[in-house]
Amino acid sequence: MRRTAVATLLLVIAGCTAEQPASPAPDGPGAVESPPPESSRQPLVLVTHLTVPPVRMSLAAARKVLAGSGEWRVVAAPGVPATGAVRVRSTRAVLREVERDPGTLGVLPATGVGPTVRAVVVAGFDPIRDPAFYPLTVPGPVAPRPRTLGLVGDIMLSRGVQDPAGALAPLTPLLRGYDVTVGNLESTLSDDGAPQQGGDSFAARPSVIPLLESAGFDALSLANNHTGDYQDAALLETVRRLQGSSIRPFGAGADLAAAGRAAVVRVGTTSFGFVGFNAIGETPMATREAPGALSVRMPPRTGPLNRDDLAQVARLVQRLDHRVDVVVVMPHWGTQYTHRPEPIQRQVAMRLVSAGADLVVGGHPHWVQGMDRVRRAVVVHSLGNFVFDMDFMTETQQGVVLEATFWGATLKAIALVPYRMDGSFAPHLVDGAEATAILSDIWRTSTGPFRAR
């Protein structure tokens, strides 16, 4: 998953050293973190507005930027070696300048970088995902081992998806490259019951489980409006079948306690916890005595916001925050076939973040939707479909993979990877104008630092 070798870089760049990196530690849940080297260095990071396409620079180009040459307006934090930059008072001031202006490039130590900006790749290395190999360093704490989380949207492997293996294959290398990969399974794995939604009742064959395992999934949310498509027995069988695999299900179960039980995935010394809830209805609400999905009744589908439902989920999030490093909440919410989130989604997301969520990542609209920054957390209202037999409009065939990079419990960077499904509903990565169009649909309905300028 990680590079196993890197050339020694012996260059002096505008007062920054290029050091020989230590060998990377082994990956996987049982990996042992390598002790930090005695020298105390951290990456010196160049950052752009998140809506700017990824920037890659050679070492020579980076040297010129630090010296003030080129098309960028460069702002730098105090004490960093950037002779041609405008100096501002703090690393936070650097971030504010970059967030306001896509034409500004910031320079700051890695400790000040967060998910509202995009790091520039220098000499082939990303300073947040590959800090041990990145050539520009300044004094500071050694970066912990980065961990990457990949999240995808709605997965439906039945009805018109005739070849689930083929549908998952194109993006399997990407998904397997993350330390943790999670999605929303929009179906049952059993049809033992009467269909509840006519031709929109979804039941995939149990044989898709090893396909999902091979594709790299570590956990799947069942908190959606199709987990109950074949009644209680099928829902319970779906949960049991996933529990018998390497994939951890969450968001639905035999009763309220089971539906609210988080999926926890540990990678090295970092633990990730996942909670999901359904706000769309159709799948029964889990209660103390009956199976179903963890649910929050809210607009636009299940009535006014039920504050008791939300308080219940917030308590689960708060308890989970005391157990794990990273808390991710996956709501199934919103209005279908629009890029614009419902205003109530932002209200609910703020409550979840207050309870301890680091990421809130939604599904159900079948189109991509905007993003918000809420305190230290990021909210993505919809990633769109991942695999789904919706070929009746362009937007339902498009989506993004959310890549989130953590240093311990701290969210340091996010990236959106756009794709489009083909005629067999298999997603394929896209670039150029099509990628720009998909991302533009997100930026123009986002708020704060993620809003298009």
Instruction: Report pLDDT for 70.
Output: 81
User: Which of 40, 37, 36, 44 has the alpha carbon at shortest distance from 15?
Assistant: 44
Q: Is residue 19's pLDDT more than 80?
A: no
Strands 180-185 and 219-221: parallel
- State the distance between the two ends of the chain, measured CA to CA, in whole angstroms: 35
CA proximity to 110, closest of 258, 102, 125, 124: 125
Task: Give me the torsion for CA of 229, 231, 237, 239, rounded to 10°.
Answer: 60
Q: What is the pLDDT of residues 210-221, one digit of tens each?
A: 999 999 999 999
Please report the pLDDT score of residue 7 as a whole number. 33
Contact 309, 295 (CB under 8 A): yes
Q: What is the model's pLDDT at position 39?
A: 61
Report the pLDDT averaged over residues 338-343: 97
Residue 207, pLDDT above cutoff 50: yes
Predicted confidence (pLDDT) at residue 365 exceeds the cutoff of 70: yes
**Mean residue pLDDT across the chain:** 92
3-state SS class at 299 = coil
Query: Dihedral of CA 121/122/128/133: which sign?
Result: positive
Instruction: State the pLDDT at residue 29.
Output: 35
Q: Which has the minimum average pLDDT: 1-10, 81-90, 407-416?
A: 1-10
Q: Which of 35-44, 173-182, 213-222, 332-341 has the least mean pLDDT?
A: 35-44
pLDDT given for residue 298 in this prediction: 98
pLDDT, one tens digit per residue, over 237-250 is 999 999 999 999 99
* Whole-number pLDDT of residue 84: 87
The residue among 110, 233, 156, 138 whose CA lies nearest residue 396 is 156
Name which of 386, 349, 389 is nearest 368 in CA terms: 386
β-bridge mates for residue 373, sequence order? 378
Question: What is the pairing mode between strands 41-49 and 137-139?
Answer: antiparallel
pTM: 0.90
CA distance 344 to 449: 20
How far is it, in rounded angstroms, from Cα 323 to Cα 188?
A: 29
What band does 312 get if pLDDT is binned at 50, 70 and 90? very high
CB-based contacts of 86: which residues, under 8 Å, 6+ apart? Answer: 73, 74, 75, 76
Residue 139: CB atoms within 10 Å = 12
Question: In 347-438, which ranges are E strands?
Answer: 359-361, 371-374, 377-380, 385-387, 398-407, 410-421, 427-429
- Measured CA to CA in angstroms, residue 258 lies from 218, 248, 315, 320 at distances of 18, 12, 15, 14
* pLDDT > 70 in the chain, percent: 91
- Position 38 scores a pLDDT of 47
> What pLDDT sits at residue 453?
85
Q: Is the pLDDT of residue 36 over 80?
A: no
pLDDT in tens, 106-152: 999 999 999 999 999 999 999 999 999 999 999 999 999 999 999 99
Q: What percent of the chain has pLDDT over 90?
A: 89
Of 17-21, 337-341, 366-370, the one with minimum mean pLDDT is 17-21
